[in-house]
Amino acid sequence: MAKRKAYSQLCKAIEAGHFVFTGELEPKKILDLSEIIHSAKEMKKTKRIVAANVTDGPQGDAYMASLVPSYKIQEEAGIEAVWQVTVRDRNRVALFGDVVAGAVLGLKNILTLTGDHTALGDHKKARAVYDIDSTQFCEMLSIMIDEGTDYEGNELKGGKIEMNFGCVANPNSNPREPEILKVGRKVDRGVDFIQTQTAFDIDDAKDFLKDLEQYNVPVLLGLFPLKSHGIAWYFDNYIPGVSVPKDLLKALKKAEKDNKGNKPGKYAAIDKINIDFFKPFIAEIKKTTKAAGIHCMAVEYERLFAPLLGEYPEYVKYSM
């Protein structure tokens, strides 16, 4: 498949050979965007994060839709959005409509996802849609971008949409072969980049990246800095297929216990644990694999970006 033009800053930065970083923002059950905008501005300040993912109802919960926050962070924080769109809640008609709306709002990246099942979320009785699956959504986006029509070939007035899109891959999946083959189906449908679920095991991550090399698509390895022991514990127990190393869990617990009542001390101790773990992790990935960058899911944990990413070059050119 011919390589698609880079429309987004993210894809332009990757194309130019930068080792890129993306961040993550999570609109929640809240009638307010100020926290998201604040986080996005903090990401922008790092000058290392080229785009921020905006999640779409993670864990199947009913949260604010990802479309408007994606637009707002571009407008108000000046950082490009990676608009996450799951196929869980919308059929092909609604997905088409949303993508056109996103294109009109100037969004340049879509991350296609299946979406955690509603049975896991806070509306367990809901009917999960899954009219098309995420691979079929990739095909639909390819058609919209490359042909300028809807899935059935009806013309979209105004022509082709100018977007890049990615898919996800899970380095924790066991067995791995069906996961790799599934990613292959998506690559064949024209994805521009891959962002992975979070990895904690460096050897596993390297193996996984090696397996994905055959597809010749830029991969951003997902990392999840752990802001607190509670979050680490939740992640370990409730996020499918992710296990946090026991040492890391223990260290976080100890850091919180040792600094009870001392907030700055606690923050410093937790940050140190994360930096000691993830800094060499990132350096190793950059040095030994063909990964195009890191998807750093430090949600509401912006203070870690400067010490973690500070030594990597700025890419001011790719800001919006």
Partner 1 sequence: MKSVYDMIITQLKDINEIYEMVKSYKKILIAGCDGCCQPPRSISEAKVLGQLLELKARTEGKELIWKAITVLRQCDDRIAATTVRPYIDDYEAIVSLACGLGVVMLNKVLPSKLTFPAQDSMFGGVQNSGENNFIEYCEECGDCIIGETGGLCPRAGCAKHLSNGPCGGMVDGMCEVGGYTLPCAWVRIWERLKEFNRLDLFKKYRPPRDFRTSTSPGYLVVNKEYTNEEEKKEVKT
Provide the minimum distance between the beta carbon of 62 and partner 1 in the complex, in angstroms, as a whole number: 17
- 211 is a site residue for partner 1 (CB under 8 A): no
Instruction: Find the binder of partner 1 among 24, 42, 80, 179 (CB under 8 A).
Output: 179
Per CB under 8 A, which region of 9-17, 36-44, 125-133, 216-224 contacts partner 1?
Answer: 125-133
Task: Give me the helices (H) in the chain, please.
Answer: 9-15, 34-46, 67-72, 92-104, 134-146, 177-188, 202-212, 229-238, 246-258, 263-288, 305-309
Instruction: Find the binder of partner 1 among 159, 230, 240, 310 (CB under 8 A).
Output: 240
CB of 193 closer than 8 Å to CB of 217: yes
Q: Which is nearer to partner 1, 19 or 151 (CB)?
A: 151
Per CB under 8 A, which region of 28-36, 45-53, 183-191, 223-231 contacts partner 1?
Answer: 183-191
DSSP 1: -
- 241 is a site residue for partner 1 (CB under 8 A): yes
Q: How far is CA 76 from the centre of its chain?
A: 20
Using CB atoms within 10 Å of the CB of residue 293, give its burial: 0 to 12 exposed, 13 to 18 middle, 19+ buried. Answer: buried
Q: How far is CA 15 from the centre of its chain?
A: 18
Provide the minimum distance between the beta carbon of 307 and partner 1 in the complex, in angstroms, as a whole number: 30
Beta bridge partners of residue 295, listed in sequence order = 22, 222
Instruction: Find the binder of partner 1 among 65, 98, 105, 114 (CB under 8 A).
Output: 114
Instruction: Find the binder of partner 1 among 18, 72, 108, 189 (CB under 8 A).
Output: 189
CA angle, residues 229, 232, 235, in degrees to nearest 5: 150
Q: Which is nearer to partner 1, 167 or 309 (CB)?
A: 167
Provide the minimum distance between the beta carbon of 252 and partner 1 in the complex, in angstroms, as a whole number: 23
Instruction: Find the binder of partner 1 among 33, 35, 68, 130 (CB under 8 A).
Output: 130
- Token digits of residue 51: 């785009």
Contacts of 150 (CB under 8 A, 6+ apart): 96, 140, 143, 144, 156
Give me the half-sphere count of Cα atoms (radius 13 Å) on the Cβ side of residue 211. Answer: 22
- Positive or negative, the CA dihedral 227, 110, 7, 219 is positive
Q: How many residues does the chain have?
A: 320
Contacts with partner 1, 71-110, as mask; x by CB under 8 A: -----------------x---x------------------
Instruction: Find the binder of partner 1 among 41, 146, 184, 269 (CB under 8 A).
Output: 184
- 134 is a site residue for partner 1 (CB under 8 A): yes
How many angstroms separate the Cα of 273 from the Cα of each of 129, 225, 278?
41, 9, 9
Residues touching partner 1, count (CB under 8 A): 37
- 147 is a site residue for partner 1 (CB under 8 A): no
- 202 is a site residue for partner 1 (CB under 8 A): no
Using CB under 8 A as the criterion, which residues of the chain lie in contact with partner 1 when the complex forms? Answer: 88, 92, 113-114, 116-117, 119-120, 128, 130-136, 139-140, 151, 168, 170, 172-175, 177-179, 181-182, 184-185, 188-189, 197, 240-241
